Amino acid sequence: MEAIIGEERKERLSRRYGEEDSVLIGTGGYVSPDPHLWEDVLTAVVIRRPVLLKGPTGSGKTKLAESVSGFFSQPMHQVNCSVDLDAEALLGYKTIIQKEGRTEIDFVDGPVIHAMKNGHILYIDEINMAKPETLPILHSVLDHRRMLTNPFTGEVISAHPDFNVIAAINEGYVGTVPMNEALKNRFIAFHVPYLGMQETRELLESEFPDAPSVLIATMLDISEDLREQVRNGLLEDEAASIRSLIDATELALHIGPERAVRYAVAEKMEDRGERQLVMDLVRTRIR
């Protein structure tokens, strides 16, 4: 572990977490797929348990975390995990500063310590992309101790009573590793599925209040067909992604649904047969 890091890396890290723009209060807007999920997640947050959101890409995990932040008006720090995530990216780094004409060593708090001290939410995205040896640093933060001894400074930090952790994973995707059991055991885990048809309708209507109702109806019909083919095993799960549907609907406002679904859904399928099937389904729905 470097004691004092170079300028280039410092700049990279400070871009990652030093700037205030990485700390935001979310706006809300999460639509719950069932009557319980939203309230149950809020309950876990209120009783100060770390929350783990598990679900496919584009199912609203980040949106859910942002909505928790919005609900409690509690700022949220985001950490995106990758194989190069290390202790400095989580905890902070030592730097040299000039103070009253003297050179001193200072420590710049990273997102974990900042959130702990200020009672903010720490959102750890794609936690199963991190190298397994990096995250045990967080074990004492995530269990009843809610504290951390900063290995760089020796400082003992006890979390502010409002401090919360929300983590998200896409299970089984390329580049992910199964989460270490001791880490997983510290979380209350929630499955975050794609929305059902009724809730998807609500979401599209609130996202696109000015869209022609015939266009919304067409997009919902297409979504229903895509889901059916996912259930039949003919399309990969991501064909039903809510993110892709929102993107397709937004594009369709400008270029029509056929090309919109091609770009937002079909072109992302690996398999040529699946791309063809998506487009065949779309054509049967265009009015």
Ligand X SMILES: Nc1ncnc2c1ncn2[C@@H]1O[C@H](COP(=O)(O)OP(=O)(O)OP(=O)(O)O)[C@@H](O)[C@H]1O
What H or E segment, with its residue span, contains residue 95? strand 92-99
In the three-class reduction of DSSP (H, G, I as helix; E, B as strand; rest coil), residue 130 is classed as: coil
Query: Which residues sit opposite 24 in a β-bridge?
Result: 76
Query: Which residues sit opposite 165 in a β-bridge?
Result: 122
62 binds Mg ion (CB under 5 A): yes
Using a CB cutoff of 8 Å and minimum separation of 24, what contacts does 217-224 make?
218/252, 218/257, 218/285, 218/286, 218/287, 219/245, 219/248, 219/249, 219/252, 219/257, 221/285, 222/248, 222/257, 222/261, 222/281, 222/282, 222/285, 223/197, 224/197
110, 93 in Cβ contact below 8 A?
A: yes
246 binds ligand X (CB under 6 A): yes
69, 25 in Cβ contact below 8 A?
A: yes
Given 22, 62, 128, 150, the residue binding ligand X (CB under 6 A): 62
Q: If contact means CB under 5 to 8 A according to the sort of partner, which of Mg ion, ligand X, none does residue 195 touch?
A: ligand X
Alpha helices, H only, 149-287: 181-184, 197-207, 213-231, 242-255, 257-264, 272-285
60 binds ligand X (CB under 6 A): yes
Residue with CB nearest ligand X?
Answer: 60
* N- to C-terminal Cα separation, the chain: 62
150 binds ligand X (CB under 6 A): no
Stretch that binds Mg ion, among 20-28, 54-62, 159-167, 208-216 (CB under 5 A): 54-62
Largest Cα span, the chain: 74
14 to 43, contacts with ligand X by CB under 6 A?
A: 29-31
170 binds Mg ion (CB under 5 A): no
Which residue, 143 or 224, is less far from ligand X as judged by CB?
224
Given 195, 240, 261, 282, the residue binding ligand X (CB under 6 A): 195
Q: If contact means CB under 5 to 8 A according to the sort of partner, which of ligand X, Mg ion, none does residue 124 touch?
A: none
Given 14, 57, 95, 153, the residue binding ligand X (CB under 6 A): 57
Q: If contact means CB under 5 to 8 A according to the sort of partner, which of Mg ion, ligand X, none does residue 117 touch?
A: none
Given 61, 114, 120, 227, the residue binding ligand X (CB under 6 A): 61
252 binds ligand X (CB under 6 A): no
98 to 137, contacts with ligand X by CB under 6 A?
A: none
Q: Which parts of 100-187 are beta strand (E)?
A: 102-109, 121-125, 147-149, 156-158, 164-169
Neighbours of 237 (CB within 10 A): 13
50 binds ligand X (CB under 6 A): no
Which residue, 116 or 220, is less far from ligand X as judged by CB?
220
Q: Classify strands 164-169 and 51-54 as parallel, antiparallel or unpaired.
A: parallel
State in angstroms the smallest separation of the CB of 163 from ligand X. 22
Size of the site for ligand X (CB under 6 A): 18
Give the footprint of ligand X on this chain (CB under 6 A): 29-31, 55, 57-63, 168, 170, 195, 203, 242-243, 246
Give the footprint of Mg ion on this chain (CB under 5 A): 61-62
